[in-house]
């Protein structure tokens, strides 16, 4: 059975190598790439209505970031604006649509990184912050630290006048039903948001602005049924999120424990910086090969300092979209075609 599962994983990995990645002209002014999670996302388990809802949400998110970039705003602001749209949507496992923990709560993680300065901000395990990416940005800009967690992070949010909400704001019946369904089978089972029939995910964005600066951000509710204050890769700089003007910006989604062990995001940038890999080559090397070899699954979005973008995932699908100044209309992908 394990052998069969591995074969299937490799089949998907091989298939996803053929996913068309965006290739853009080298003199573009700005570029933006986003994801809304990777996983069991196939045409068979998608209705036309659901697909249309995702396409609309991805478009709205891209447009928010594009507005910032087109008017000369920074990559950091564009990443924040883009991710906030997805955090406010119940479709994604971030902000409003976050999955539930083992004890029926929602614990949110997020990170943002500036490729110009290597400054970064991250938060983990917050339960009352409406837009975690906004708090991650405040940690970067307004504190001497990189990462804050739990009650302390919320105290900092209060001091910074970041919008706090009642934990009930994050209640959605669909997510609660997912938790109950998982617990019925095995009260301790962990579920990646996209396993089985589930098609909702962590969100991320990478942007290049008119000054040539890169930024990356990621926001998530983590894994359904997580406990003990479990934190995944998304808020860990170098694992789920990374940006450096010397190489690239990356945001990932998938089984966080594997992304942490491989420091996936930094690894991709390192291959580009030290070995001269293209964004696509580096993403494929790390996701298709190394991540698959150790049994992890998921995907990444990558953007290099010239605005060349790449997607790579070893799952059946990944919600993804991009645009840039030369091709300003959203190009959206969902399945592994």
> Would you name the residues annotated as active-site residues?
202
Please list every residue from 172 through 211 that binds ligand ASP, using CB under 6 A.
192-193, 201-202
Task: For ligand ASP, give the closer residue by CB, 193 or 316.
Answer: 193
Q: How is residue 285 annotated by DSSP?
A: I
Please list every residue from 38 through 77 that binds ligand ASP, using CB under 6 A.
none
**Residue 336 is a binding residue for ligand ASP (CB under 6 A):** no
**Residue 296 is a binding residue for ligand ASP (CB under 6 A):** no
Specify whether the CB–CB gap between 39 and 192 falls below 8 A. yes
Specify whether the CB–CB gap between 106 and 98 falls below 8 A. yes
Q: Please, what is the minimum distance in Å from the beta carbon of residue 24 to ligand ASP?
A: 26
* Block residue for tokens 């659901």: 50
Please list every residue from 227 through 256 that binds ligand ASP, using CB under 6 A.
232-234, 240, 253-254, 256
**Residue 36 is a binding residue for ligand ASP (CB under 6 A):** no
CA dihedral 259, 76, 303, 33 (to 10 degrees): 90
Task: For ligand ASP, give the closer residue by CB, 77 or 233.
Answer: 233
Distance CA 100, CA 104 (A): 5
**Residue 219 is a binding residue for ligand ASP (CB under 6 A):** no
Task: For ligand ASP, give the closer residue by CB, 233 or 304.
Answer: 233
**Residue 297 is a binding residue for ligand ASP (CB under 6 A):** no
CA dihedral 271, 274, 279, 284 (to 10 degrees): -20
Task: For ligand ASP, give the closer residue by CB, 199 or 305.
Answer: 199
Q: How is residue 290 annotated by DSSP?
A: I
What's the length of the chain?
337
Instruction: Show the site string, 92-111: x = touches ligand ASP by CB under 6 A, - = not.
Output: -x------------------
| Residue 252 in tokens | 């990932």
Q: Please, what is the minimum distance in Å from the beta carbon of residue 51 to ligand ASP?
A: 19
| Residue 197 in tokens | 């029939």
**Residue 304 is a binding residue for ligand ASP (CB under 6 A):** no
| Residue 189 in tokens | 């089972």
Distance CA 109, CA 87 (A): 11
Distance CA 106, CA 85 (A): 19
The residues that touch ligand ASP, with contacts defined as CB under 6 A, are 37, 93, 192-193, 201-202, 220, 222-223, 232-234, 240, 253-254, 256
């Amino acid at each position: 059975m394990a052998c069969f599962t591995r074969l299937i994983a490799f089949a998907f990995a091989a298939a996803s190598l053929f996913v068309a990645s965006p290739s853009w002209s080298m003199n573009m002014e700005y570029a933006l790439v986003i994801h809304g999670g990777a996983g069991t996302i196939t045409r068979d388990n998608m209705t036309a209505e659901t697909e249309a809802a995702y396409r609309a949400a991805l478009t709205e998110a891209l447009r928010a970031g594009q507005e910032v970039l087109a008017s000369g705003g920074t990559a950091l602001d564009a990443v924040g604006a883009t991710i906030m749209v997805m955090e406010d949507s119940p479709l994604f496992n971030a902000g409003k649509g976050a999955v539930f923990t083992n004890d029926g709560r929602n614990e949110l993680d997020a990170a943002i990184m500036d490729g110009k300065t290597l400054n970064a901000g991250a938060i983990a395990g917050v339960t009352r912050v409406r837009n975690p990416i906004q708090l991650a940005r405040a940690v970067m800009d307004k504190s001497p630290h990189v990462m804050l967690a739990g009650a302390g992070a919320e105290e900092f949010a209060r001091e910074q006048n970041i919008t706090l909400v009642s934990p009930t704001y994050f209640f959605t019946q669909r997510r609660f039903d997912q938790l109950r369904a998982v617990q019925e089978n095995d009260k301790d089972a962990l579920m990646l948001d996209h396993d089985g029939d589930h098609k909702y995910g962590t969100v991320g964005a990478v942007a290049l602005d008119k000054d040539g600066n890169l930024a990356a951000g990621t926001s998530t509710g983590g894994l359904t049924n997580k406990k003990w204050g479990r934190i995944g890769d998304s808020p860990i700089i170098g694992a789920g999120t990374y940006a450096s003007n010397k190489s690239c910006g990356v945001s990932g989604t998938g089984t966080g424990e594997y992304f942490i062990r491989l420091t996936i995001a930094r690894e991709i940038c390192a291959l580009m910086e030290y070995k001269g890999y293209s964004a696509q080559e580096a993403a494929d090397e790390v996701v298709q090969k190394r991540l698959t070899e150790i049994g992890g699954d998921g995907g990444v979005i990558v953007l290099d300092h010239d605005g060349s973008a790449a997607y790579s995932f070893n799952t059946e699908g990944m919600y993804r979209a991009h645009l840039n100044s030369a091709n300003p209309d959203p190009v959206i992908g969902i399945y592994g075609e």
